[in-house]
């Protein structure tokens, strides 16, 4: 393969290069590595987290609340930094709920979603006063029982498995048979039962998919979500106060992918704000974004431990790998493996270029961070940076695999 | 889909069913779950670990040493149980080395393999006196430097990237360009350099692949490995004392797969023992097996938290999922997702049967333990058992994903 024939990644929105060093603000990654005192590590950039939220605020109508779905990156430092910048937090487990509360977010601005919430998780959520996105009739019954047992009156939103899908998304989370939420067509009868339960109905959660890079697909899904909510609102026991229409905003990972165009989404949301105001006057529209907020603001940094040429192919063997960053290895929800964007952090362009594969220390051929990419010619001791690593990195990886130490995690 | 059209799994070699309860020895899984006091959990069976080793001893010639590669399951209880049953342990990190030493295995019966061993890992391994399977020239130089610095004289085996592959294997770990070992054709010159280094040469490690269910492929790979070692032995600075010809023995996971036939492997090894005795009289032949020893002796148990019918499809929503058992979800090295064998542990046959999908509590459609399988009709509170879960389960999973608690892990 010649260097010219290699596919290139979309330009990165955040990270700059100064004197051939990959930078966060005015600091080189090599400098940050000295501060961390170890490799590998994840580093998340405050500047870029803030920029991303500001970018969203600029394009989206101010009437739409912006929630951060902390499952994308539940690092307490990141959650604490983002909490005052967003309008609410979405959590997917009792532990995430505690991280959100620890970050100082008001309980009524926290939503707890997820199929299979255990009775003890439900009890904790009710005690905390967060909103429960209810995924089944059994969950409603369990919440009613908690109230009857004196555990408190739950704030409940019905999570709807919509009758449509988010087209061209990385993962479909609604439409067809799903484990998520209550099928739209069953919601009216569930709402009927809810009338007799000691629960506070607050609204709907309609999430149709994630990781879409097509604005028109997101626009269509948001239109359908609002229409579905208006339809279902005819059967609610109380006015809809919150309407979470999900997220689904993707970031470009792979060669050929282009960043999501927010402008049409902003324009469409302005119309949806007007529609909602007319049809559901008490409803607060909200978006739930995880990956889109943190994904591009984080890097995974590892160090080259060995450099090997095997049968003509260059391998840069690093102290990091799939045990720390499963997604970048291509083993998390990808059918065909593709490369995340990768650079040599301390010589981005380099004096010479070469095609190399970046691998980790594990005894498995799956431990591949980059397969035959063009990089600066690198030496032992150099730092490899995997971009687009702020979401679904640290916590989505098998950290105990082969019993290597976990990576560091820092916010700068 | 009708129940009749569903593919079936190969019969399980170990687990019995009594009174419709899945059993380990004379105990039901439900009983063991009460002992563990929580779900989900992994359970490994001493009886079945012992049976598997005995089965191997019966078929393989006694002259061949049997090593356990603890990366497959580094649970200290499992390693301690297996240590006296096998002839050595193979480790892939400094932490695994410590687990092996803690289990009482003699240091010279422990081998440490893995590309990208860090200098501090090498120093620890030399201090412990284990054998280092050396993966590159730089590693040799680092070991020589440790000796010169007074850190001790390393026992080294050269890990060879062979000139052949293990055919029909789940993962190819040799042949072509690889990050593993030193290319066979470069080994003579590396051995030449090694003569001048303060190191003790002990032999070769030739590992060509893993998870093969075809005896003839394994036979062929073992023949080629021995032939390659004999060829390379002409250039060694000292007689070959150990010859690790890898493992690669697979277990059936998916519908249509059949167990590996050990008999032809045993017959072939008898010939290889004779060849080795003639050509490399001081060499100890050894096999390195991980998954084959522990894979079928372990179960992952989770409890049904909710039962939902969405648009005609039954979902059993459990407290376990991909965060605990990534491989069973199909997200670890599989291109096309297939189902691990799954049963309802407390009603294996059941009064009624149905087609259901078993999912976990995570907010992602990837969180799928079984996709439309035929099971006993199950209720909330029932226990789901995922078979073939003794290897690459607990440690190969993203335990922190969505911040749910980790599973238990017990040996019974």
pLDDT by 10-residue block (mean), chain A, 412 residues: 54 93 97 98 98 98 98 98 98 98 98 96 98 97 98 97 82 84 96 97 93 95 97 97 96 93 98 98 98 98 97 97 95 85 96 96 93 96 98 96 96 98
| ipTM exceeding the 0.90 mark | yes
| C-alpha distances out from residue B27 to A65, B14, B31, B373, Å | 54, 14, 6, 26
- pLDDT computed for residue B387 by the predictor: 97
Our measurement of the distance from residue A278's CA atom to the centroid of its chain's CA atoms, rounded to an integer in Å, reads 32
What are the distances in angstroms from CA B360 to CA A54, A272, A387, B394? Answer: 35, 34, 29, 15
Which residue in chain B is spatially nearest to A179 when comparing CA positions?
B315
| Closest CA relative to residue A14, chosen from A385, A408, A265, A339 | A385
Q: Which two tokens stand for residue A358?
A: 């970046």
- The C-alpha atoms of residue A229 and residue A159 are separated, in whole angstroms, by 11
Q: Which of B174, B179, B309 to mutate to test the interface with A (most CBs of A within 10 A)?
A: B179
Coil vs helix vs strand at B275: helix
Q: Are strands A298-310 and A342-344 parallel, antiparallel or unpaired?
A: unpaired
CB contact under 8 A, B335 and A333: no
pLDDT tens for B397-408 read: 999 999 999 999
Q: Which of A166, A312, A398 to mutate to test the interface with B (most CBs of B within 10 A)?
A: A398
What is the pLDDT, as a whole number, of residue A206?
95
Percent helix / strand / coil, chain A, rounded to 5: 30, 25, 40
Contact flag A95-B403 (C-beta cutoff 8 Å): yes
Whether residue B283 has pLDDT greater than 80: yes
Residue contacts between A and B (CB atoms, under 8 Å): 206
Residue of A nearest to B76 (CA): A403
Task: Please count the residues of chain B.
Answer: 412
Q: What SS3 class is residue B245?
A: coil
Rounded to whole angstroms, the maximal C-alpha distance in chain A is 73
The pLDDT value recorded for residue B7 is 58
Of the candidates B74, B312, B396, which has its C-beta nearest A177's C-beta?
B312
* Rounded Cα distance, A298 and A79, in Å: 14
CA B62 to chain centre: 22
Is B403–A395 a contact, with Cβ atoms under 8 angstroms apart? yes
Cross-chain CB nearest to A361 (options B115, B313, B335): B115
CB contact under 8 A, B361 and A116: yes
Contacts B178 to A, Cβ<8 Å: 310-311, 315, 365
Task: Provide the Cα torsion B4, B5, B9, B11; round to 10°.
Answer: 30
Given this model, what pLDDT does residue B4 score?
A: 47
Judged by CB atoms closer than 8 Å, whether chains meet at B305 and A118 is answered as yes
Distances in Å between the Cα of B173 and the Cα atoms of A296, A308, A410, B179 are 33, 16, 34, 9
Point out the residue among B172, B362, B397 whose CB comes nearest to the CB of A365. Answer: B172
Contacts of A359 (CB under 8 A, 6+ apart): A315, A316, A317, A318, A321, A367, A368, A369, B115, B116, B179
DSSP A216-254: HHHHHHHHHHHHHHHHHGGG-SS---EEE----B----S
What mean pLDDT comes out for the span B87-95? 98
3-state SS class at A139: helix
- Cβ-based burial of B50 (10 A; exposed 0-12, middle 13-18, buried ≥19): middle
Region B54-82: what's the mean pLDDT?
Answer: 98
pLDDT, tens digit, 9 for 90 and up, residues B302-326: 999 999 999 999 999 999 999 999 9
Retrieve residue A396's tokens: 């989505």
Q: For residue A116, give both structure tokens.
A: 């299979």
Distance from CA of B133 to the nearest CA of A (A): 12
B118 contacts in chain A (CB < 8 Å) = 305, 319, 361
Give the chain A residue whose CA is nearest to the CA of B310. Answer: A177
User: What is the spatial distance between Cα B66 and Cα B314, in angstroms, rounded to a whole number?
Assistant: 45
Instruction: Calculate the CA dihedral of residues B257, B378, A143, A141 and round it to 10 degrees.
Output: 140
Tell me which chain A residues have a C-beta less than 8 angstroms from the C-beta of B401. Answer: 395-396
E strand or H helix at A291: helix A291-294
DSSP run (H or E) holding B274: helix B262-279
Among all residues of chain B, which has the CA nearest to that of A187?
Answer: B310
Closest CA of chain A from B318, distance in Å:
6
Strands A408-411 and A41-44: parallel
Nearest CB to A331 within list B136, B332, B364 = B332
Contacts of A19 (CB under 8 A, 6+ apart): none
Give the three-state DSSP class for A45.
Answer: coil
CA distance A390 to A291: 8
Q: What gap in Å lies between CA A101 and CA A83, rounded to an integer?
A: 10
What's the rounded Cα separation, in Å, for the pair A208 and A184?
A: 12
Give the three-class secondary structure for B345. Answer: coil
> For residue B397, which residues of chain A lie inside 8 Å, CB to CB?
398
Q: Which of B37, B116, B330, B356 to mutate to probe the A interface, most A CBs <10 Å?
A: B116
Nearest chain A CA: its distance from B23 CA (Å): 26
Contact B401 A395 (CB under 8 A): yes
- CA–CA gap between residue B117 and residue A361 (Å, rounded): 7
Q: Which of B359, B369, B401, B405 has the most A C-beta neighbours within 10 Å, making it the best mutation to test the interface with A?
A: B401
**pLDDT tens readout for residues B135-171:** 999 999 999 999 999 999 999 999 999 988 887 777 7
Q: What is the pLDDT of residue B1?
A: 35
CB B296 within 8 A of CB B15: no
Q: What is the pLDDT of residue A6?
A: 52
């Amino acid at each position: 393969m010649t260097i010219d024939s290699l596919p290139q990644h979309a330009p990165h929105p955040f990270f700059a290069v100064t004197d051939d060093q990959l930078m966060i603000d005015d600091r080189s990654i090599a400098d940050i590595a000295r501060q961390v005192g170890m490799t590998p590590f994840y580093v998340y950039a405050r500047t870029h987290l803030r920029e991303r939220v500001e970018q969203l605020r600029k394009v989206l109508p101010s009437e739409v609340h912006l929630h951060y779905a902390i499952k994308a990156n539940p690092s307490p430092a990141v959650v604490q930094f983002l909490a005052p910048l967003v309008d609410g937090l979405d959590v997917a487990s009792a532990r995430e709920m505690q991280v959100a509360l620890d970050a100082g977010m008001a309980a009524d601005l926290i939503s707890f979603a997820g199929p299979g919430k255990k009775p003890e998780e439900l009890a904790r959520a009710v005690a905390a006063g967060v909103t429960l996105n209810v995924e089944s009739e059994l969950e409603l019954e369990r919440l009613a029982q908690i109230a009857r047992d004196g555990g408190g009156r739950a704030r409940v939103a019905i999570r709807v498995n919509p009758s449509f899908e988010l087209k061209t998304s990385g993962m479909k989370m609604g439409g067809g048979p799903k484990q998520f939420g209550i099928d739209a067509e069953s919601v009216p009868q569930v709402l009927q039962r809810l009338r007799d339960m000691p629960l506070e109905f607050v609204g709907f959660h309609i999430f149709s998919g994630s990781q879409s890079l097509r604005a028109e697909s997101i626009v269509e899904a948001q239109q359908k979500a609002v229409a579905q909510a208006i339809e279902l609102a005819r059967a609610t026991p109380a006015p809809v106060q919150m309407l979470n229409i999900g997220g689904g905003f993707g970031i470009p990972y792979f060669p050929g992918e282009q960043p999501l165009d927010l402008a049409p989404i902003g324009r469409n949301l302005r119309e949806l704000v007007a529609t909602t105001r007319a049809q559901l006057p008490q409803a607060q529209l909200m978006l739930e974004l995880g990956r889109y907020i943190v994904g591009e603001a984080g890097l995974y940094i590892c160090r080259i431990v060995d450099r090997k040429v095997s049968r003509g192919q260059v391998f840069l063997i690093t102290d990091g790998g799939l045990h720390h960053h499963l997604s970048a290895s291509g083993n998390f929800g990808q059918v065909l493996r593709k490369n995340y964007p990768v650079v040599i952090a301390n010589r981005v362009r380099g004096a010479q270029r070469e095609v190399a594969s970046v691998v980790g220390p594990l005894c498995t051929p799956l431990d591949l961070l980059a397969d035959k990419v063009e990089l600066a010619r690198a030496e032992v001791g150099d730092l490899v940076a995997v971009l687009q690593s702020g979401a679904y990195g640290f916590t989505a990886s098998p950290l105990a695999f082969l019993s290597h130490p976990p990576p560091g995690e820092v916010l700068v």
